[in-house]
């Protein structure tokens, strides 16, 4: 068999790891068609189907799983070796975080940091999967949860809070409804599993018998509320850009703790990275500077 180009193997491993061609292409700075072309070349060169499209993205075939298990770790080892050998790499930090957290919180704050540290580069890896620090070239992650991930160091950045939000246009159209009745009479987005039952238990009132619409990810839920579809029980950190832009407004000042927080997560090896202390201190400083939420519901 002819020698297979490394870029095809990298495309395969990235797509298999993320389970989504769009996110894999973005991470590799390729178009989806360019990534798909590399995958087709690899499959044709090997004479085997490696990835199968499914309802939630792409999944490994039996042959694909066998190849992934054989090449993923060596490929990561090569990437780590290249980063260690690169002078520039010693001043570059790779941070993994979910796309909505990157857009809502980190990216708007990055310009001031990079301006203050022109010799330091930050590489963002947008991903929803749990980082395997042993196999992935990631120095630091920001994750949402209870902070109890095994085998890594965790530090709380800040707690997450929930509050009902809606588009200002929707609120203006229903301005005649008394504020005490407004939530019960407006269409609500989500379902009881989105913590609406907890909200009503804490603040009073009866939850609706039927919700207007349900969404399987927070970012789409917030966007739907901004478009005027109804009221969402928002994660305020992730809704921050829409609130700041005036596309969403909170209904009153009550807030409810979400019961989880945003954490710094990193392996022990990261502490020896030349830029780790600087990036960590800045992230904690930015977290401490966040405005405190309103009174709890």
3-state secondary structure the chain: CCCCCHHHHHHHHHHHHHCCHHHHHHHCCCCHHHHHHHHHHHHHHHCCCCEEEECCEEEECHHHHHHHHHHHHHHHHHHHHHHHHCCHHHHEEEEEECHHHHHHHHHHHHHHHHHHCCCCEEEEEECCCCCCCCCCCCCEEEEEECCCCCCCEEEEEEEEEEEEEECHHHHHHCCCCCHHHHHHHCCEECCHHHCHHHHHHHHCCCCCCCCCECCCCHHHHHHHHHCCCCEEEEECCCCHHHHHCCCCEECCCCEEEEEEEEEEEECHHHHHCCCHHHHHHHHHHHHHCCCCCCCEC
Give the number of domains in the chain.
Answer: 2
74, 95: one domain: no
β-bridge pairing 140-145 and 92-97: parallel
**CATH, residue 14:** 1.10.10.10
Domain boundary among 66, 84, 102: 84
Is the overall model pTM greater than 0.75, yes or no?
no
Domain boundary among 55, 84, 113: 84
* Domain assignment of residue 236, yes or no: yes
116, 210: one domain: yes
* Domain assignment of residue 35, yes or no: yes
67, 117: one domain: no
* Domain assignment of residue 1, yes or no: no
pLDDT of residue 2: 54
pLDDT of residue 83: 62
**CATH, residue 176:** 3.40.190.290
185, 74: one domain: no
* Domain assignment of residue 276, yes or no: yes
pLDDT of residue 99: 87
Domain that includes residue 297, residue range: 90-297
Domain boundary among 45, 69, 84: 84
* Domain assignment of residue 231, yes or no: yes
110, 214: one domain: yes
181, 262: one domain: yes
pLDDT of residue 226: 96
Q: For each of the chain's 297 residues, which pLDDT tens digit applies?
A: 456 788 888 889 999 999 888 888 888 888 888 888 998 998 888 888 999 987 778 899 999 899 898 888 888 777 766 665 554 445 788 999 988 899 899 999 999 998 898 888 888 888 888 888 888 889 999 999 999 899 999 999 999 999 999 999 999 999 888 877 888 889 999 887 779 999 999 888 888 888 899 988 898 999 999 999 999 999 999 999 999 999 999 998 899 999 999 999 999 999 988 899 999 999 999 999 987 765 544
pLDDT of residue 87: 46
41, 143: one domain: no
77, 147: one domain: no
38, 114: one domain: no
58, 98: one domain: no
63, 128: one domain: no
131, 100: one domain: yes
């Amino acid at each position: 068999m002819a020698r297979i180009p490394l870029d095809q193997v990298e495309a395969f491993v990235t797509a298999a790891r993320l389970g989504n061609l769009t996110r894999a292409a973005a991470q590799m700075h390729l178009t989806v068609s360019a990534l798909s072309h590399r995958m087709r070349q690899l499959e044709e060169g090997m004479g085997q189907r490696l990835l199968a499209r499914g309802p939630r993205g792409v999944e490994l075939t039996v042959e694909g799983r066998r190849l992934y298990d054989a090449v993923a770790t060596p490929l990561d080892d090569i990437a780590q070796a290249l980063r260690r050998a690169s002078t520039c790499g010693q001043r570059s930090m790779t941070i993994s975080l979910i796309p909505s957290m990157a857009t809502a919180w980190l990216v708007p704050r990055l310009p001031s940091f990079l301006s203050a540290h022109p010799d330091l580069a930050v590489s963002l890896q947008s991903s929803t999967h749990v980082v395997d620090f042993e196999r992935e070239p990631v120095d630091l992650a920001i994750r949402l949860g209870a902070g109890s991930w095994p085998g890594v160091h965790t530090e709380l950045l800040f707690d997450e809070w929930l509050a009902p939000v809606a588009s200002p246009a929707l609120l203006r159209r229903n301005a005649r409804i008394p504020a005490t009745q407004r939530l019960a009479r407006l269409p609500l987005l989500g379902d009881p599993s989105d913590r609406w039952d907890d909200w009503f238990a804490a603040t009073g009132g009866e939850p609706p018998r039927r919700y207007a619409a349900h969404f399987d990810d927070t970012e789409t839920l917030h966007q739907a509320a901004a478009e005027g579809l109804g009221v969402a029980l928002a994660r305020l950190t992730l809704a921050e850009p829409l609130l700041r832009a005036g596309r969403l407004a909170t209904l009153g000042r009550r807030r409810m703790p979400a019961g989880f927080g945003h954490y710094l997560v990193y392996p022990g090896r990261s502490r020896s990275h030349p830029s780790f202390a600087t990036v960590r201190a800045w992230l904690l400083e930015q977290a401490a500077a966040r405005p405190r939420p309103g009174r709890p519901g």
